[in-house]
Each structure stands twice: as C-alpha cells, then as structure tokens.
Amino acid sequence: YSGSRPITTYRPNTPADFELRDLSRGSGIVTYDCLNTADYDAAQVPAQATNDWDYGNVQANAILDAHWGTEMTYDFYLNDLNWDSYDNAGTELLSYVHFNLIDYGYPNNNNAFWDGSRMTYGDGDGVTFNPLTTLDVTGHEITHGVTEYSAALEYSGESGALNESFSDIFGSCVEKYARPEDFSWLLGSDMSLDGEAFRDLSDPNLYECPDTYLGEYWDPFEEVHTNSGVQNFWFYLLCDGGTGTNDGGDAYTVQGIGMDDAAAIAFRNLSVYLTVFSDYADARTYSIQAAVDLFGACSEQVISVTNAWHAVGVGNVFADAVIAQFTPSTYYRCSLPADVQFTNSCLNTSAYQWAFGDGGTSTLASPTHTYTSVGNYVVSLI
C-alpha cells in the first residue's frame, strides 16, 4: 500500500535465509504468515534467500505492509512520544497476517485486531476491502496495546469511545509520520476496493459517526467505533483548525496547532491523566491540563484545545480568565498531628501560592499540610 520501502530483516548466519524479524527495534518485530488459517501455532515467519521482498501483488504483500507498518509505529511512538513499544518496556511486537476464518465459517475477514499481546490481520472480503494491513490500521491496533498499558480505558461506553478514538488518532499520526506525502484523515482508505473507508476523522458524519457530543449519529447504545467520532473530530480541528456550527447550534472557531503539538497533548492525556472509566468530560478537563503542562497556561495550544472541545459540544469556549479554586481532603480532623491534602482545580494557572492559616505556606500545585495545634484555619490560594 505504500510503494517501495526499506525494512529490517534478520539472517541467522551466512548463507541462511533472511527472515521477517527486525531485531533492531526494542525486543524485536516479528511478522508471521498464517497461511490463510486461523491457527497461530501453524503460522510461519517468511524467509527467503535474497533480501529483496516483493510477492508481486497487493494481497500477498500484506505481510510486508504489516512488517513495515509495525516498524513505523514503533518509531513514531519512540521518537515522537518517547514510548517504547506498546508497553513502554520495548516488548516484542508480533503480527499475524493472512489470518483466515474459513475454518469457522466466516470467509470474509474484514477485520484486524489487538488481542492483548499481538496483532492479527484478515485479508478483507476482496469486494469492499483488500487485506487490513494499511499503515493507519496497524497504528490503530498497536495503539490498543498502548492504551491498555496507559489509561486502560474500559472498552465500553464513553471510555470505550475514547479508547477507539485514541487508536484512530495515533493511527492517523503514524500515517503522517511515515508517509507524509500520502496522508489522509480517512481510516483504511488505502485498502478500499469500493471507494468507502472505515471512518473519516475530518468528517465523522460521512460514516455515520457523531461530530458533536450527543449530536446526530450519537449512538445511545454507545457502540465504541461510533461515538469515537466526537474526540476524532476534536483532534482533527485541533490539528487543522476550522469554523462551523455544531449539532447543538453553537458556532465555533478553532485555530489549528498542527499534528505534533496535538499528538503530544492527546498522548499526555492518555498516558498521565485518563483512567479506566474516564468519560468525555474528563477527556476535556485533562487534555486542557496536559496542554497547560506542555505549553503553559493561556498558551495558544490551551486555547485551541478548549475551543475544539467546545466545537464538538463538550464544555464552553476558552474563558480568558484565571480562576483559583481547590478542595481539601477533609474539613476537620479529631487528632493531631493532622495531614490535610489540598487539590487545586484552577483554570489557566501556572504558579501557586498557598497560606494554610497557621503560618505555613507552599508553592506546590496540590500540597499536603500538617496541622500541629487545635484551631480553625482559613486557607487561601493565590
């Protein structure tokens, strides 16, 4: 799908065959041919005497797309996001290609999936799709592994929609990273036989996914590949910018900040802040926080992140104001010494000046203070 590309292989000795094993990245990238069965144990690592690989047609070359796409996904995560393989521990990346379900009565395997430790790719039905080994799909599937080892977003409801969306987002980033000359916001377009892709991040409605929270095409049953459209469109607007009116009737204008900054913000949200049951409101709150961390309060990135969420119907436009607010872990203690944790929930802040009411102070974002004598204390945060 991507023309002629350099790949890394392995030759155990001379004159042995070259094998589709890349031992130069992390603990390795190994690509298997399932030989049109659904039997992982029978799968083989392709090997040949010369190191020029071309099986002559797009179907057979799916093995090479998967190998190269996995290498590029590994490089994108390491170089751009400082994340080593799917688990950030460099663990081996295994791909199983030509995985065919005829044995189970499903000949048209129009799917690819991550099962918790490896990728599997079907060959498509030959009518709507060729093999599912495009660059963006490989990035999508491996990102499911990244998500499992970071936020671990539960694969249902809004957390499931976010999980799916992060896979579409970073799948698109992999395509842009490795093949900038032939990038599109469509997911799976390279392998389409009928002109239809799977999804479009720049126009989710085209594939009956919502571009507005609770808007048209929002699925009340919360199918994860549908409601992912909201964060997908957020990411597209954040990268490229745009103006319009959303399904809630709100007019919006978003200045694009480019894919590098947008990806850094989305990844910090995924890897530092979001957790198993995070929802769209959390995605907004913590992507804004991630942008503050990376680019500073009131930066253009913070403004665009906020306004892009407003554009997709999650929260208000950026408010040009600084707001100080916090909550204590408790309002009273019955014994001394008494630790109280203060968690700030400020907006647009970058520095903190606390006075705990007993003479103690702190400049931490969310400090803990120990009270050592009985009394009422008024705490202030500037």
List interacting residues with ligand ASN (CB under 6 A): 111-113, 140-141, 144, 164, 225
Amino acid at site 190? D
If you search the block for the tokens 């999980």, which residue do you land on? 163
Which among 203, 225, 206 is positioned nearest to 312, based on CA atoms? Answer: 203
Least distance (Å) from Zn ion to the CB of residue 183? 20
Least distance (Å) from ligand ASN to the CB of residue 363? 44
| Number of neighbours of residue 174 by Cβ within 10 angstroms | 27
Separation in Å, CA 1 to CA 19, 64, 135, 316, 323: 21, 9, 8, 41, 50
Is 92 one of the annotated active-site residues of the chain? no
Is 175 one of the annotated active-site residues of the chain? no
Select 198 or 309, whichever has its Cβ closest to ligand ASN: 198
Select 120 or 287, whichever has its Cβ closest to ligand ASN: 120
Catalytically annotated residue among 19, 67, 71, 141: 141
- The binder of 112, among ligand ASN, Zn ion, none, by C-beta within 5 to 8 A per type, is ligand ASN
- The binder of 111, among Zn ion, ligand ASN, none, by C-beta within 5 to 8 A per type, is ligand ASN
Separation in Å, CA 359 to CA 9, 60, 322, 335, 378: 65, 73, 25, 20, 11
Among 73, 133, 167, 232, binds Zn ion (CB under 5 A): 167
Select 33 or 164, whichever has its Cβ closest to ligand ASN: 164
Ranges within 8-67 binding Zn ion (CB under 5 A)? none
Cα–Cα distance between 167 and 145 in angstroms, integer? 9
If you search the block for the tokens 């009956």, which residue do you land on? 208
DSSP letter assigned to residue 204: G
Select 19 or 65, whichever has its Cβ closest to ligand ASN: 65
Q: Which residue is nearest to ligand ASN (CB)?
A: 113
- Are 159 and 153 contacting, i.e. CB atoms less than 8 angstroms apart? yes
Least distance (Å) from ligand ASN to the CB of residue 56? 27
Least distance (Å) from ligand ASN to the CB of residue 296? 35
46 in helix, strand or coil? coil
Judged by the rule CB under 5 A, the positions of this chain that interact with Zn ion are: 167
Which amino acids are annotated catalytic? 141, 225
